[in-house]
Amino acid sequence: MSMIALTVNQRAVRISAEPRTNLADFVREKLDLTGTHIGCEHGVCGACTVLLDGVPARSCITYAVACEGAEVTTIEGLDEDDVTTELRAAFTREHALQCGYCTPGMLVSARDLVLRLPQADERLIRVGLSGNLCRCTGYVGIVRAVQSVIEARRARDIAPEPDGGRKILGPAGSGRSVHDGADRVERLRPAASEQMLPETASSVPAILDFTPATVLKQQFIVAHPPEQVFALFDDIAAVAACLPGASLTAPPKPERVEGAIRVRIGPIAATFQGAARIERSPADMSGRIVGIGNDRRSRSSTQGEIRYRLVPTGQGTRVDLSIGYTLTGMLAQVGRPRLVRDLAARLIAEFAGNLDRRLSGTSPADATAVELNGMALLFGLLRARVAGWVGRFSSNKDGAT
């Protein structure tokens, strides 16, 4: 716990809170100021908007500990505020609220627009309110209310303040943090335990067929005959060793392989543990791996399917890969499926390089030991060490989605 000293609605407060306590929870739970509402908790809906050093800020993604010395104004602190008083009357008149959940944040943002906008331009007001979601009114009444207050104030010769009154540089709320004179230190939490629970993989139910949400098709060429490549694909341990971040958690059997794969996109890391079933068709040198895995930490699940077919070419073997997957849970909510797709494409590129090295008898140890570290791997490692191979790699990203 940290002792946090700041001003809330012109009252000095000194209260201890965990560093992870956001400003919204701080005012609600510690000060009983429940007018600040919490909606999405990741900065999208605007319900939690408060004034921080006089300007609007998202209190759900601002940690109270980072607001040392700041002046916080919640909706309760705007009772006597001139602009908010006018806005309240206008909201009432224009039916600018129904359930009221968005209203405290809406008023804080509306007040900011009234102060800053030179005139009651409907488009600018709508753009200005785009960060505050209302699911009841359809915004028409809200926009009208804000317009009317701006018009009334400009008619009374009250000039706009384009900067909202802010004169110093840096994040709102950070202005006074240097004056406390001492480093603020909160001791570390114990190291996160990431031990893998043995029952995870075996608790995976039967591996069923599924229709993937995303399919990536890629192909690459390795300078080795198809028979040799097909034989390697039968060696599950060898295949796993070529896949960055992959490891086996139990001795592989042809019908069931248990393992884990660790992936990373920037600061996001996930370890999917699970099981896979393997099918092979020597007649046309093709095969299929169907798997299911869970990341305990983010409570995300993935189903994946890799189909491959080996085609002889003049240079050796062309490996046609079709990779399909469905991601559910927290990671899927990031809402950026293209980043996940980019990662999968990178994973395949690295896999192909390792496969080639392994077939050539070069030790892939240095490449396989590391987890897939996003583009750094592709740009650094690949460019430097297997530049020749990259030239032969052809990709067909996107595929069917």
Residues 28-57 that bind another protein (CB under 8 A): 41-44, 46, 49, 52, 55-57
Subset of residues 82 to 111 that bind another protein, contact rule: CB under 8 A? 109
Q: Which region among 89-97, 159-167, 310-318, 354-362 touches another protein (by CB under 8 A)?
A: 159-167
A 10 A CB-CB count for 186 gives 11
Does residue 27 interact with another protein by CB under 8 A? no
Nearer to another protein, 191 or 283 (CB): 191
Residue 333 contacts another protein per CB under 8 A: yes
We find the least distance from the C-beta atom of residue 9 to another protein, in angstroms, to be 18
Kindly tell me which of 276 and 352 has the beta carbon lying closer to another protein.
Answer: 352
- Cα distances from 221 to residues 309, 372, 381, in angstroms, run 12, 21, 19
> Closest approach of Cβ 239 to another protein, in Å?
25
User: Does residue 159 belong to the site contacting another protein (CB under 8 A)?
Assistant: no
Phi-psi label, residue 302: left if phi above 0, alpha if psi -120 to 50, beta otherwise:
beta
- The one-character DSSP state at 256 is B
Count of chain residues binding another protein (CB under 8 A): 87
Q: How far apart are CA 239 and CA 353, in angstroms?
A: 12
Question: Taking a C-beta distance cutoff of 8 angstroms, is the pair 390, 220 a contact?
Answer: no
Among 112, 258, 305, 356, binds another protein (CB under 8 A): 112
Phi-psi region of 371 (alpha: psi -120 to 50; beta: other; left: phi over 0): beta
**Interior CA angle at 307 toward 302 and 311, to 5°?**
155
| Binding status of residue 345 toward another protein by CB under 8 A | yes
- CB-nearer residue toward another protein: 108 or 386: 108
Cα(308)–Cα(313) distance, rounded to whole angstroms?
A: 15
- Among residues 130 and 281, whose Cβ is nearest to another protein? 130
C-alpha span between 146 and 234 (Å, rounded): 68
CA pair distance 216, 238, nearest whole angstrom: 23
Q: Does 253 bind another protein (CB under 8 A)?
A: no
Phi first, then psi: what are they for 321, rounded to 5°?
Answer: -115, 140
254-293 residues near another protein, rule: CB under 8 A: 265-268
48-54-60 Cα angle (round to 5):
20
> 193 to 252, contacts with another protein by CB under 8 A?
none
Q: For residue 360, give both structure tokens.
A: 């050539």
Are the C-beta atoms of 257 and 276 separated by less than 8 Å? yes
Residue closer to another protein (CB basis): 253 or 397 = 397
Nearer to another protein, 265 or 285 (CB): 265
Q: Is 199 helix (H, G, I), strand (E, B) or coil?
A: helix
Q: Within 169-198, which residues bind another protein (CB under 8 A)? A: 169-174, 177-178, 181-189, 191-192
Cβ nearer to another protein, comparing 235 with 379:
379
Q: In the window 349-388, what residues touch another protein (CB under 8 A)?
A: 373-376, 378-379
> In the complex, what is the shortest distance from the CB of residue 36 to another protein, in angstroms, rounded to a whole number?
13
Exposure on the CB side of residue 342, measured as CA atoms within 13 A = 11
With contacts defined by CB under 8 A, name the span among 134-142, 199-207, 220-228, 327-335 that binds another protein.
327-335
CB of 1 to another protein, least distance (A): 11
